[in-house]
Structure 1
Amino acid sequence: MQTGADETPVRCVFGELGEVQADLICVPVFEDEGSEELRSLDAALGGSINRARASGELRGKTHELFFADVATPTWRTRRVLLVGAGTRARYDTSRARTVAGAAGLAARDRRVRRLVFVCRAAGERAPMAQAAVEGVLLGAFRDTRYKSEDNGSSPLTSVEVYFGEDVAPQTRAAVERGVLLAGCSNLARELTNEPGNLFTPRVFADRACELASGPHTTVEVLDEQAIAAQGMGLLQGVAQGSVEPPRVIVMRYEPEDAVPGPVLGLVGKGVTFDSGGLSIKTADGMERMKCDMAGGGAVVCAMRAIGRLAPSVRVIGVVPAAENMPGGRAIRPGDVLTAANGKRVEVLNTDAEGRLILGDALTLAQRFGATHLVDIATLTGACVVALGHHASGLLGAPDAWVESVRQVADRAGERVWPLPMFEEYAEQLQSETADLTNVGGRPGGAITAGMFLKAFSGGLPWAHLDIAGTAWYDTAQPHHTKGATGVGVRTLAALPFEVAW
């Protein structure tokens, strides 16, 4: 299904703001800037800014919106949106992204088709321009594929980023990069929003072939026989309760000028629907478990971006896709499964299935040559309890690799927070029957899940991103609609470029 989620045209414009033609011009406004800085704009708006400041309608608080009509007859655009940007000192790329997101969301809701966003960058322009483009396109996203009648807002047909003067080539390149990354993030959102009955493991694999294939990227899909040949007993065990067979999506990016040595392995959890299995979930909120493949969707769409950005580092993406259902053949609490690396796992809770399929996928990534690993998954409710919905959990080893991933995520605007990996946590996974259990009790649940995955990392540099709290918004945000977020795409796509290999 082609949706055009990554096809909105964006370009840079400069010159006199009044000469720019659009349906709406969006201008960030700071809490602590004086009237002189906005004098010419205020004049064009007939003094609306000063009046709104005086009345308290416009204070510049983050994500505050104030619409004004243009009074100057020579201006080609007749409507301006002032978006609160907070204090100038805190206006970094992350803030610029959410401010632009608020503008994109407001434009979408008002049926704006041609939007201009004014880039107010105090420092280097390129990162701020990229963040602004990402924000606008992420904010303007709307998924109406399954509505028979869409009486809502119209999609943006064009976005322009305005600068007072012409910009350097690196800024234009940054804008193009922002368009690509936002588009791939929105594609990941579409995948994650898919209903479980229409998005089975086989459909997921077909979509991955469509999205990730490219001149230097190949996609291979392992069926049940190939999965069995790889000895992936953990994945087979999770999938056996469903009538839908599992798949493993293997994506390989091989540039012609590949740097010898490092191979980045990206592994994403692809549970297309998670009922919990025999350890069944409560009915409340189970409908959201269609989003349990958000990590896998992020890997597929990051591989799409990587193929187009063309780093010189080889990348392998592995997504194990399955349903976790309580059928007559489903695994039972107390069952023992044999992993692809030979370890035997006692399953104490069938609702801790994500770590099982990731364990086999991490092993597979190593077999295919990965030297550095990052996995991403909606893994634990414990991570949501610990960090809420504003940061993903980060675990791994060694510390230097984990810190590299943290820095890349921070620059991408996808905040993460490290959790400890003390060896004592591994003691909670001790089994009397097998090599380890798949759960370690309630205390430190996000960490013990990470310790389980560490047992399948093969001693390689490995990082784990738990996106259980960040992959889905239950309520709309000022800069982001309700539903899937596409988290992880920008971080994973940046790793081949920004890590010191």
Structure 2
Amino acid sequence: MNLKILRKDLLTHNTEGLIVGRFEGRNDNPLMKQLNHALDGVLSNAMKCGDFKGRINQTALFYSGNKISPQRVLLVGLGNKREFNLEKLREVSGTAAKALQKLGAKTISTTLPQILEDIFTRQEMGQTVVEGTLLSLYSFDEHKTVKKDKAKDVKTLNLVMSLRDKGIAKLEKGAIKGQLISEGVYFSRDLISKPGNVATPSHLADEAVKMAKGLGIKATILEKSDMEKLKMGSLLGVAKGSCEPPKFISLEYNGGKKTDRPYVVIGKAITFDSGGISIKPSAGMEEMKTDMSGGAAALGTIKVAASLKLPINLIAIIPSAENLPSGSACKPGDILRTMSGQTVEVVNTDAEGRLILADALTYAERFNPQAVIDLATLTGACVIALGHHATGLLGNNEGLKHLLLKAGEDSGERLWELPLWDAYKKQIKSDIADMKNVGGRDGGTITAASFLSKFTTKYHWAHLDIAGTAWEKKGRSYVPKGSVGVGVRLLIKFFENELGIEES
């Protein structure tokens, strides 16, 4: 998409859709007064009739009838000004963009930054408006033979400031950043949206290598034979049931000093999860192509970090396999020896994500990391506990968890902490191995993280259970129905906060 920062007179600005915001119960937007006068009072009439009150995400459309250059004026409600924040700016930007896209507008212009300077910095506004707009317009039609008319897609987004404005550089910096972050989320969403017969572990590895080459990221792909040499018994145990070979993807971005210890992001990538021998019910199983959402988030995160040239050393690790039943598949009751040497009794083959993560967490030790963060669609229990609006957070370091919680609030990808007390570890004790891979229904998200904690004793670690936040069933503001790409914006904000990068 073409992205432009313009200084224009609104009345003579040529655009197919002009977005103007209004706070609920307030009439102090000079842009609205200017447009209302030029349009013979139609905007104020709509408010007098009660058709538009400025409630959050409320919209009202007006046609200019050649009285001004913009073909359409779209009012969007901003709600209560005291409650307005960056997440709401992201939401209203997405709501407005989608409304104009449905009408076939190819060029849209937003004036929102002009009226929000008393709340946000220019860089914050530029980034957030662009994120909300671009993320709302995402679609995936790669496998449709009759594709939608691309000529009707939005081609240009203009951020319009007044003719007298002299400080658009920071707004432009934020807008470019928002575009790069959105591209990383798009990359993740595309991978998640692909069907399991396309997005195999091999395909995921190929896409990772292709992306890495364009950004100067070092890519290492471990094959099955490499995993055997490293004694990754739990990952290989999960992969046994499929004809598709497992892949272990490791990407290294070195943007910091050579002496800086890296951060490691690990993403679970089961490219299709049938449950294995402990097979899932058939209803809804098609969504199990999304069980690689953690891996997609890790790939999207390192892509954005490199695109933004963040001064950080970052490693993305993506263990990838399919979980299928067959004559060679792992069986309930089997015992697997992990890369760490610890043994696991497999009570349920549908608790496979923690098995592949166990070997990845052990592999991460070799990098002497500052911290390790894993993302995984790990437990249905997390969906039951938190629904679809918060990602579960557990970990072994209070400082790391606090920083992630703050990044969640800052980015709009919010987290909720669950306890990781020793008492829960009793549920995963095994009579015949060092541990078992499930601890029963009670506290399922916590016992899964308790299992992972057995492999994270040598570094600071946080676990993000994205089972409820990785897939959107209905669609909302800037998140269309389908893959969310959750985790990318969260982690980039986390790294920026850690680096002390200010958005002035």
TM-score range for the pair, normalised by the shorter chain length: over 0.9
Q: Percent identity?
A: 36
Residues 335-374 of structure 1 correspond to what in structure 2 (within 5 A)?
A: 335-374=334-373
What secondary structure does 2:464 align onto? strand
Question: What is the aligned partner in structure 2 of residue 58 from structure 1?
Answer: 52
TM-superposition CA deviations, 1:91-111 (whole Å, max 9, x none)? 211100011111222233222
Q: Which amino acid aligns with 1:270?
A: A
SS at match of 1:499: helix
**Gaps in structure 2 of 5+ consecutive residues:** none
In the aligned structure 1, how far is the partner of 2:221 from the partner of 2:39?
57
In the TM superposition, 1:262-301 aligns within 5 A as 262-301=261-300
Secondary structure at the aligned position of 1:67 is classed as strand
| 1:436-484 per-position Cα deviation (integer Å, ceiling 9, x unaligned) | 1111111111111111111111331111111111111111224431100
Q: What displacement does 1:151 show?
A: 3.7
| Structure 1 pair 496–35 and aligned structure 2 pair: CA distance change class (3 A) | closer
Alignment of 1:179-328 (within 5 A): 179-255=179-255, 257-258=256-257, 260-328=259-327
1:70 equivalenced with 2:70 (yes/no): no
Give the deviation of 1:147 after TM superposition: 1.1
Change (3 A) 1:425 1:163: farther
Matched, 1:148 2:145: yes
Q: Which residue of 2 aligns with 1:84?
A: 77
**Is residue 44–residue 70 contact of structure 1 (8 Å, CA) maintained in 2?**
no
Corresponding position of 1:172? 172
* Deviation per residue, 1:176-195 (Å, 9 max, x gap): 11000011101111110000
Please report how far the alpha carbon of residue 45 of structure 1 lies from its aligned counterpart in structure 2 after TM superposition.
3.3
1:14-33 to structure 2, matched below 5 A, reads 14-33=7-26
Does the aligned pair in 1 maintain the 2:262–2:367 contact within 8 Å?
Answer: no
Residue 125 of structure 1 is aligned with which of 110, 122, 125?
122
CA displacement, residues 205-263 of structure 1 (integer Å, 9 cap, x when unaligned): 001111233454111111111111121111101111011010011000113x5262321
Following TM superposition, the consecutive aligned residue runs of length 4 or more in structure 1 with deviations greater than 6 angstroms are none
Residue 38 (structure 2) aligned to one of 44, 58, 62: 44
Tell me how far apart the structure 2 counterparts of residues 300 and 254 of structure 1 sit (CA, whole Å).
15
What aligned pairs does 1:432-447 form with structure 2 within 5 A after superposition? 432-447=431-446
Q: Is the 8 A contact 2:365 2:458 kept in 1?
A: no
What letter is aligned with 1:299? A
C-alpha contact 2:22 2:29 (8 A) present in aligned 1:
no
* Alignment check: 8 A CA contact 1:45 1:69 kept: no
Q: Which amino acid aligns with 1:161?
A: L
**Distance across 1 between alignment mates of 2:478 and 2:313:** 34
When residues 78 and 275 of structure 1 are mapped into structure 2, their CA distance, relative to the original with a 3 A threshold, is same
Partner Cα separation in structure 2 for residue 226 and residue 159 of structure 1:
47
Deviates more, 1:88-97 or 1:43-52: 43-52
Residues 356-435 of structure 1: pairs in structure 2 closer than 5 A: 356-435=355-434
Tell me how far apart the structure 2 counterparts of residues 242 and 166 of structure 1 sit (CA, whole Å). Answer: 60
SS class of match (2:363): helix
Q: Quickly say closer, same or farther: Cα 1:464–1:44, change in 2 above 3 A.
A: farther
Measured at CA, do residues 307 and 500 of structure 1 come closer, stay the same or move farther in structure 2, by a change above 3 Å?
Answer: closer
What is the letter of the counterpart of residue 100 of structure 2?
A: A
Q: Once structures 1 and 2 are overlaid, which stretch shifts more, 366-375 or 274-283?
A: 366-375
User: 3-state DSSP class of the match of 2:321?
Assistant: strand
Paired residues in the alignment total 492
Whether 1:488 aligns to 2:487 is yes
Distance 1:110 1:71, change over 3 A: closer
Q: Which moved more, 1:136-145 or 1:469-478?
A: 469-478
| Aligned counterparts of 1:97 and 1:315: Cα–Cα separation in 2 | 27
Residue aligned with 1:85, SS: strand
User: What is the letter of the counterpart of residue 143 of structure 1?
Assistant: F
Q: Which of residues 69, 92, 96 is equivalent to 2:89?
A: 96
Partner-residue secondary structure (3-state), 1:401: helix
With structure 2 as the length reference, what TM-score do the two structures score? 0.94
Q: TM-score, normalised by structure 1?
A: 0.94
Query: What is the DSSP-based 3-state SS (H/G/I as helix, E as strand, rest coil) of the residue aligned with 2:426?
Result: helix
Root-mean-square deviation over aligned CA pairs: 1.7
Instruction: Please state how far the C-alpha of 1:152 moved relative to its aligned partner.
Output: 5.4
CA distance in 2 between counterparts of 1:328 and 1:475 reads: 38
Deviations 1:90-132 (A, max 9, x none): 2211100011111222233222211112223232221122111
Is there any run of 5+ residues in structure 1 with no aligned partner, and where? 1-7
Alignment partner, residue 472 of structure 1: 471
Query: Which amino acid in the other structure matches residue 378 of structure 2?
Result: L
Q: Report the equivalent of 1:5.
A: none
1:330 partner amino acid: A
Change (3 A) 1:334 1:45: farther
Amino acid at match of 1:258: K
Inter-CA distance 326–13: structure 2 relative to 1 (3 Å threshold): same
Task: Tell me the equivalent position of 2:156.
Answer: 158
Contact persistence 2:5–2:168 (CA under 8 A):
no
